[in-house]
Structures are given as structure tokens and as C-alpha cells.
Amino acid sequence: MKILISGSSGLVGSTLIPYLQTAGHQVERLVRKPGTGIVWNPQSGYIDRDVLEGFDVVIHLAAENIGSGYWTKNKKDKIFHSRVNGTSLLAEAITRLNRPPKIFISASAIGFYGDRGNDQLVETSLPGNSYLALVCKAWEAAAHTVSHSGIRAVQTRFGLILTSHGGILGRLTLPFKFGFGVKLGSGNQYQPWVVIDDVLAAIDHIINTPGLEGPINVVAPQTVTHGEFTRIIGQILHRPVLFSIPSWLLKLILGEMAQELLLASAWVVPEKLTSSGFKFRFSSIENALKLLLAKR
């Protein structure tokens, strides 16, 4: 197939491109810098529709990094507009094509559900009322507009994506390099996770499964609390978890980002993926962490 991907330099995009190319697909990048792919500019609203003709699949991953920098008003505006405006621009462009893609996959996140404590959440669960939940709701709505033109629209709600290089796992394991682990808050908050290998396989599965559409939770079947997650890392690295940083201190240091990204609890289940026959390579957090940490 002929596939177009935005956000090609990000965690998912940079690994998805060689994965798809190895499978024999022709992959083009949608980029902001001339000379590296098809050029667009979400901020100014520029996109050349003519060069978008003929793609079978469009995968939209580009967005402002939510985990870098303090969440000032300006940062929050960038987080929102990079997702909603960019998605709206691309969605509108492909609906006007003479040869539109068969499927439009747009990234989203489990932040859609907000802080839900011990509630078990599936794709049909209602959104939360936090800032990220409102962002994800608007983000997904912008992506879903292509369905009115007969394009299959999918919104992938990613959990914490684990990889052996960088990402969230690199940050969580950093204290262990000094001889001990640190727990964030009470540790009772659920943290849905997924290994990058399963993210790539899930996207491939979605492309090749016509019945899958709408929001899809891309998380492993086994969801653990942050406390369990940290304890398992400690066991694998043979380091104790000695300290807990209280929630109030995290909020004081990181502001709203602490509550939204580190302390919010969401027990998310990949109901659509599993019911469609998708098999996770990594369904056990312990097995996943053993492999990933061995590669670091």
C-alpha cells in the first residue's frame, strides 16, 4: 500500500516507518521542513492537496509534546491547537480528494478518560472532564469528520508507550541508577502501558481489519498501578523502592502536568483490539520490563 505518515520523527512514527517499509509498503512523510517529504504547515493552514492524491492510508501522529516543559497557558494552547488544528486541516484536505484514502488513523491518548480511579474503561466509556480529556475529545472529533466522506476513521488511544530507548521508561528508571527507586504519589493510580512492538503490530492490524473504526484503546490487557510498576522495575534491577514523592509536592513542582500525566488513574481495557482477534506479544508487564530493561 501507499501510506502517508505525519509525526515521522516521533517515538511511534520513527519506528513505524521502517516497520511498514519492511512489510513492503511505500511510505511517504508529511513534514514541515522542505526536502524531507511532503510539506505542510499546520500553524499557517498550508497543505497541498494535489500531492495527497492516491494514498491508501493516512496515519496522523504529529502533535506538541505534552511531557516537556511546564504547562503555562501558552504551552497548553500549543498542546491543544497542534492536535485539533493540525487534525482538522489534514482531515478536511483528504475528504476533498478525488482519490481519498481508505482509512485515516489519527493518534489520541488514554487522557481521554481523565482521572477515573478504579473504574474499568472501554472505548464506549464517557470522557473525563480534565484538560487532557477535553483536548482528546476535540482531537478525536476533528479526526472523525472524515467518516462523513466514507473514509474509515480510527482514533488510537495510546497508553504509556514503553521502549528500550528513552520515552517514559527512561524517566521512570532514572532514579534506580542512583541505587534506589522512587514512587510517585500514593502509587495506587492505574497506568495503562503498551510496548512499542505491540503499538506497531496494532496499527498494522487496524489497517488490515476493515471492521475496526472509531476510538481504539492501544494498551496491554494487563493494567497495573504505578506502585506495582515501580516495584517490578526494582525487582528486575535489584534495587529497593525507598521513597515516595507526595502528590502535593509533585503538583507544586510540575503544576497541572503532575496531576494529568503522573497522578491520574485510568484502568483502560483494549476491548476492540482483543475482540477483533489481535494478539499482544507483551501482555505481562513483568515479561515486558525484563526484556526492555535488559536492552538498556
Residue 200 covered by a domain: yes
pLDDT at 208: 96
Q: What is the pLDDT of residue 296?
A: 61
DSSP state, residue 145: G
In the predicted structure, residue 123 carries a pLDDT above the cut 80: yes
Residues 6+ apart with CB under 8 A from 142: 83, 84, 87, 88, 91, 106
Whether 240 maps to a domain, the answer reads no
**Rounded Cα distance, 218 and 282, in Å:** 12
Write the burial class of residue 150 (CB in 10 Å: 0-12 exposed, 13-18 middle, 19+ buried).
exposed
Task: Please give the pLDDT value at position 91.
Answer: 97
**pLDDT in the model for residue 100:** 95
The per-residue pLDDT for range 259-285, each reduced to its tens digit, is 999 999 999 999 999 999 999 999 999
- Confidence band, pLDDT 50/70/90 cuts, at residue 225: very high
CATH number of the CATH domain containing 209: 3.40.50.720
Looking from the CA of 146 toward its CB, the CA atoms found within 13 Å total 32
Neighbours of 245 (CB within 10 A): 15
φ, ψ for residue 4, nearest 5 deg: -110, 135
Show the domain range for 41. 2-160+194-219+269-280
Stronger pLDDT, 191 or 36, i.e. the higher one: 191
- Give the pLDDT mean for 235-245: 91
Q: Average pLDDT for residues 33-62, to the nearest whole number?
A: 93
| Mean pLDDT value across the chain | 94
* Nearest CA-CA partner of 62 in 36, 86, 39: 86
Q: Is 47 inside a domain boundary?
A: yes
Domains: count for the chain: 1
pLDDT at 81: 94
- Asked whether residue 70 is domain-assigned, the answer is yes
- For the segment 39-65, the average pLDDT, to the nearest whole number, is 94
Residue 109 confidence (pLDDT): 97
Residue 116 in any domain: the answer is: yes
Q: Is 137 within the bounds of a domain? A: yes
Query: How many other C-beta atoms can be found within 10 angstroms of the C-beta atom of residue 186?
Result: 14
- Residue 244: beta bridge partners? 183
Question: Concatenated DSSP letters for 152-212?
Answer: EEEEEEE-EEE-SSSHHHHHHHGGGGGT-EEEETTS-SEE-EEEHHHHHHHHHHHHT-TT-
Mean pLDDT on 15-38:
94
Q: Indicate whether 235 belongs to any domain.
A: no
Percent of the chain at pLDDT exceeding 90: 87
226 occurs within a structural domain: no
Neighbours of 194 (CB within 10 A): 26
Please tell me the predicted confidence (pLDDT) of residue 135: 96
Tell me the pLDDT tens digit for each residue of 142-182.
Answer: 999 999 999 999 999 999 999 988 788 888 888 888 888 89
